[in-house]
Amino acid sequence: MSFTYQYARPALTVDCVIFGFDAGEHELRVLLIQRALPPFEGKWALPGGFVKVGENTDVAARRELEEETGLKQVYLEQFKTFSEPKRDPREHVVSVAYFALVPFLSHPPKADTDAKDAAWFSVEDVPSLAFDHKVILDTALQRLRLKMQHEPVGFELLPPQFTLTQLQQVYEAVLGQTLDKRNFRKKILSMDLLIDTGEVQQDVAHRAAALWKFDARRYEKLKKGGFHFAL
């Protein structure tokens, strides 16, 4: 059943900020796509697109991620709505923004149906972006920095098994500051949220470090009892 509204309404889109941690360079990166269509054809942008009739924004965000980058089943969280009337030159478009956290090496850049190209960029050195996507990226980074200090989402940027050094490097890259090694390890281990796998790194030139896993089940159990993650 169709319906005609008395007043014009803005269009609705979703935009996704995809973060990954490059362990080789010790830096946080963002996955961008090169637009294949106008406006801003050929410019780099965040993956995203219009919400279809009959789908909610969560479904739309995951669909756009897969259509433009090939990403599936990743950590995805809504963080803000951007609604400036002139943010899109075509018409008044409201965008619901999400950030995603992925293990960097597990997700090589892949341009899919709606993009010319896809590539990882350092968050400190992104090219000029289409629309207001630089504002969205900066806002997402601020939200991620705050969230990582109060929830263990940093583990989403790591492979299932990791060293304590890699974990510290993730936090330093996101927070943009150097952390004291002894204090960081003492604090993270005191939370009793890590499982020692009994394994060590393989094929490394230096002394092989122990590999750990995040105990998500224990965290959820502790959280129900009032536990608060804090770094």
pLDDT (tens digit per residue) in 142-158: 999 999 999 999 999 99
Q: Are 93 and 129 part of one and the same domain?
A: yes
Q: What is the mean pLDDT of residues 100-120?
A: 83
Q: Is residue 5 part of a domain?
A: no
The predicted pLDDT at position 1 comes to 57
Q: Are 174 and 136 part of one and the same domain?
A: no
Q: Is residue 102 part of a domain?
A: yes
The predicted pLDDT at position 110 comes to 77
Would you say the pTM of this structure is higher than 0.85? yes
Number of domain units in the chain: 2
Q: Is residue 70 part of a domain?
A: yes
The predicted pLDDT at position 8 comes to 85
Q: Are 115 and 45 part of one and the same domain?
A: yes
The predicted pLDDT at position 173 comes to 96
3-state secondary structure the chain: CCCCCCCCCCEEEEEEEEEEEECCCCEEEEEEEEECCCCCCCCEECCEEECCCCCCHHHHHHHHHHHHHCCCCCEEEEEEEECCCCCCCCCCEEEEEEEEEECHHHCCCCCCCCEEEEEEEECCCCCCECCCHHHHHHHHHHHHHHHHCCCCHHHHHCCCCECHHHHHHHHHHHHCCCCCHHHHHHHHHHCCCEEEEEEECCCCCCCCCEEEEECHHHHHHHHHCCCCCCC
Q: Is residue 98 part of a domain?
A: yes
The predicted pLDDT at position 180 comes to 97
Domain of residue 212 covers 153-224
Q: Which of 144, 169, 184 is the last residue of a domain?
A: 144
Q: Which of 88, 123, 144 is the last residue of a domain?
A: 144
The predicted pLDDT at position 71 comes to 86
Q: Are 178 and 218 part of one and the same domain?
A: yes
Identify any residues that bridge with 78 across adjacent strands, giving them in sequence order.
Answer: 98
Q: Are 18 and 122 part of one and the same domain?
A: yes
CATH of the domain at 73: 3.90.79.10
Q: Is residue 120 part of a domain?
A: yes
157-210 pLDDT, tens per residue?
A: 999 999 999 999 999 999 999 999 999 999 999 999 999 999 999 877 778 899
Q: Is the pLDDT of residue 72 over 70?
A: yes
Q: What is the mean pLDDT of residues 41-57?
A: 96
